[in-house]
Amino acid sequence: MPREQLTVRGIVQGVGFRPFVYRLAGELALSGWIRNDGNGVTIELQGGDAALSGFAERLLSERPPLARIDQLLRQPLPEQAQPDGFSILASESGGAHAAIGADSCTCDACLAELFDPANRRYRYPFINCTDCGPRYTLVRHLPYDRAQTSMAVFPQCPACLAEYRNPLHRRFHAEPNACEHCGPELALLDADGPVAGDAVAETLARLRRGEIVAIKGLGGFHLACDARNAAAVARLRQRKAREEKPLAIMAANSASLAELARIDELSGRLLRSPQRPIVLLPKTAGCDDALPGVAPDVAWLGAMLPYTPLHYLLLHEAAGRPDGTSWLAEPQSLLLVMTSANPRGEPLITRNEDARALLPQLADAVLEHNRDIVTRCDDSVLRVGCHGHAQFLRRGRGYTPCAIGLSRGGPPVLALGAHLKNTLCLTRGSEAFLSQHIGDLDRVANCRALEAAAGHLQTLLATRPAFIAHDLHPDYFSSRLARELSERLNIPALAVQHHHAHIAAILAEQQCDETVLGLALDGVGLGDDGGAWGGELLMVDGAHSQRLGHLSTLALPGGDRAAREPWRMAAAALHGWGADEEIPARFPHEAAAPQLALWLNQGKALTRTSSLGRHFDAAAALLGIAARTSFEAQAAMRLEGLAERHGLPPKPPRLHQIDQDNHLDLTPLLRQLASGMPPAAGAALFHACLIEALADWAAQTARRLGLRRVACGGGCLQNAILARGLHAALGRRGLSMLQARLVPAGDGGLALGQAWVAQRHFNQ
């Protein structure tokens, strides 16, 4: 009878793929075997022609929910005596094409068992199966087998082992499989040591008393408190030194958020997806009264639904421990602030001993367990972008390390990303693997985390880079590390200009190989001329980028300090049209304002910047919205929030100029804002006029060059009003807009662009 071998590549390990194949082969009366290996899975089949074809078709159409098939290769084999039945062989090491799935929320079948008093896993906080649970955060090596994970230290009891070995059971080779007799355990501790009693019940009681509890999740610890308790929220902010930055909340379901935020169809799907990201939702009018101090001065609420059994158990306890799952469809009153458990700016805490060290400086108690987290992974953050697509603000748990397909293969490149919001990227053939969010590299611990992540990703993917890519700025830690690795591994390194990488990241994920116009808009990046760029019009053709124009520059008083003190950028704008004398009067609470006005008037040499981010700061300060900020982009977020509530004018005036050198001058717009406009109206006008100015600028340049596509990237494109408005405005001018969908538009996606440029550079 006909015999063939199938090689399946993609996310096919740890997702119930082998038992699915076992059942499918049985239904079609096919004999043979399946085995995990370093390439994915290999299958040998023997049977009738129709059965073999039907198997391949159903393999693609009926695959398990967490599986992803990137490649299916069928190869005929010589016929041989037909073996008896179908078997699952032991895993085999080697190869370089396997991929591991991301962590996934608890599935419906496990939830039904979790809340069934008759089930042996009733209220067991580590219930999982092949359709759900941790993957990336607990695996050390591929192939994905229990011995390669942090579950290796938990031998399975006879009942669990029987499930694990049964190909017809949904826990067949579910590597984290366990129960209360053989698996991980919870423990609650406070400053006095272990707390007696039911850990979940006692944790809820403490949260209701206004305490802050560090809770261990899949990729790290959260700091949790009652989101409705203003005093608890204020205390959490004070302890974490997070004065005003919005906090995310966790709710039992979408219905529990109905009075707080508006949830459209896409937002609802994102909230309920297996990835369970934090989703930014437009607030309702009563949100801030219901959740005082959670997300002040912004128009959006970051919310997520539970994704671990432990999260569900806390909510179940608050609901009174009802039997069954029907309560999960009903509104629940408990809302928890869930923010990363880490001292300000440091990496997410993953180890129990580090969490205990938070006592009592950050947390009143720690709810931990004894299953180690191998890889830290922050929650992902998304919002609904334009034309019905999700937009990443941070890519982490639930999405990492899923591969991003590239238009063509190339040599393996390790790209080390940006200085802020760092991620790294490793390519393998025609796939790019972006790491989880690592953070800002101005902290030693984050620098160490970057080094560790680079090593772990290489180990996990069994891939050694042939080339290194990094930012053009020579003093960034990521650039220094790139040069060190280049020398240590004896491989070439390539410096990629910051804004070229922003546009390249879009082209990489969109699999676009044509020449495009690039509109790169962000806070700052070192330019080819050594300047502080951030409002750039580029022509990007693979490894090549040409600067075609930029925003007219503003002085940057105080250098990096100006990004934290927007009043300085307003002063620079006032100086630009000769209004130095207004600076002290406009900013009477800034002791340095008179001296700065004098320096500007005397023509002191100052760095200048084309940054759109700094133009946002100037606008916010001129409108009296923000003179100083406590976190990055706070002024811009306030400006966006006011504009969202106010609504943009339908026909804004033309308040920009484009000179013969293709410089876009926004001075007329800033002068209008300085004329005494109400803040909300001014914020709306700024956005409306900026959108038209950028679209005019891009369209004028595109016509001259005969280009039809504009790739828009950089941190400013995480502004929903700007992204939506540019998409519409460019469309009205006959241009199509490309923007980031699979990675953040800001620095969190930069490593992908660096890797893409390097692949093309070294392939020339």
**Per-residue pLDDT tens digits for 690-735:** 999 999 999 999 999 999 999 999 999 999 999 999 999 999 999 9
Q: Is 594 helix (H, G, I), strand (E, B) or coil?
A: helix
Q: Is 232 helix (H, G, I), strand (E, B) or coil?
A: helix
Dist. CA 160–CA 156, nearest whole Å: 6
Query: In Å, how far from its chain's centre is CA 581?
Result: 45
What is the reported pLDDT for 460? 87
- What's the token pair of residue 115? 């809340």
The percent of residues above 70 in pLDDT, for the chain, comes to 99
The phi, psi pair for 719, rounded to 5°, reads: -75, 115
The residue length of the chain stands at 764
The yes-or-no answer on residue 18 being catalytic is yes
The phi, psi pair for 546, rounded to 5°, reads: -125, 130
Q: What is the distance between the terminal CA atoms of the chain, rounded to a whole angstrom?
A: 48
Q: Is 715 helix (H, G, I), strand (E, B) or coil?
A: helix
Q: Confirm whether pTM is higher than 0.95.
A: no
What DSSP line would sit under 149-216, residue for residue?
BGGGGSPPPHHHHHHHH-TTSTTTT-TT---TTTS--EEEEETTEEPPS-HHHHHHHHHHTT--EEEE
Query: How many H-runs (helices) and E-runs (strands) does the chain carry?
Result: 23, 31
Q: Report the pLDDT averaged over residues 58-75.
A: 90
Q: CA 366, 369, 372, 374 torsion: positive or negative? A: negative
**Per-residue pLDDT tens digits for 122-153:** 999 999 999 999 999 999 887 788 999 999 99
**Residue 95 pLDDT > 50:** no
What is the reported pLDDT for 316? 98
**Per-residue pLDDT tens digits for 337-360:** 999 998 877 899 999 999 999 888
Dist. CA 692–CA 653, nearest whole Å: 9
Annotated active-site residue in 3, 36, 63, 206: 36
**Per-residue pLDDT tens digits for 270-289:** 999 999 999 999 999 999 99
Q: Report the pLDDT averaged over residues 734-745.
A: 96
SS3 letters for 389-457? CEEEEECCECCCCCCEECCCCCCCEEECCCCCCECCEEEECCEEEECCCCECCCCHHHHHHHHHHHHHH
Q: Report the pLDDT averaged over residues 443-464.
A: 93
Conformation bin of residue 379: beta by default, left when phi > 0, alpha when psi is -120 to 50: beta
- What's the token pair of residue 329? 């469809």
Bond prior to 401 in cis (omega within 30° of 0): yes
Angle of helix 17-27 relative to helix 49-61, nearest 10 degrees?
150
**Facing residues of 493 across strands?**
468
Structural contact between residues 234 and 257, judged by C-beta atoms closer than 8 angstroms: no
- What's the token pair of residue 170? 């949904």
Annotated active-site residue in 3, 9, 18, 638: 18
What is the reported pLDDT for 97? 61
What is the reported pLDDT for 604? 80
DSSP at 473: -
**């690592």: which residue's tokens?**
438
**Residue 380 pLDDT > 70:** yes
Query: Average per-residue pLDDT in the chain?
Result: 94
Instruction: Output the CA–CA distances (angstroms, integers) from residue 581 to 601, 603, 698, in the order listed.
Output: 9, 14, 35
Dist. CA 313–CA 552, nearest whole Å: 56
**Per-residue pLDDT tens digits for 193-232:** 999 999 999 999 999 999 999 999 999 999 999 999 999 9
**Residue 116 pLDDT > 90:** yes
Residue 497, CB half-sphere, CA atoms under 13 Å: how many?
22
The yes-or-no answer on residue 36 being catalytic is yes
Conformation bin of residue 616: beta by default, left when phi > 0, alpha when psi is -120 to 50: alpha
Domains of the chain: 3-88 (3.30.70.100), 186-369 (3.90.870.40), 381-512 (3.30.420.360), 517-738 (3.30.420.40)
Dist. CA 732–CA 322, nearest whole Å: 55
pLDDT band at 93 (very low <50, low <70, confident <90, very high): low
Structural contact between residues 673 and 622, judged by C-beta atoms closer than 8 angstroms: yes
Dist. CA 134–CA 275, nearest whole Å: 11
Dist. CA 341–CA 360, nearest whole Å: 13
Dist. CA 30–CA 32, nearest whole Å: 7
**Per-residue pLDDT tens digits for 592-615:** 999 999 999 888 878 999 999 999
The phi, psi pair for 564, rounded to 5°, reads: -95, -15
Instruction: Output the CA–CA distances (angstroms, integers) from residue 357 to 93, 195, 211, 367, in the order listed.
Output: 39, 16, 17, 13
What is the reported pLDDT for 36? 85
SS3 letters for 337-397? EEEECCCCCCCCCCCHHHHHCCCCCCCCEEEEECCCCCCCCCECEEEECHHHCEEEEECCE
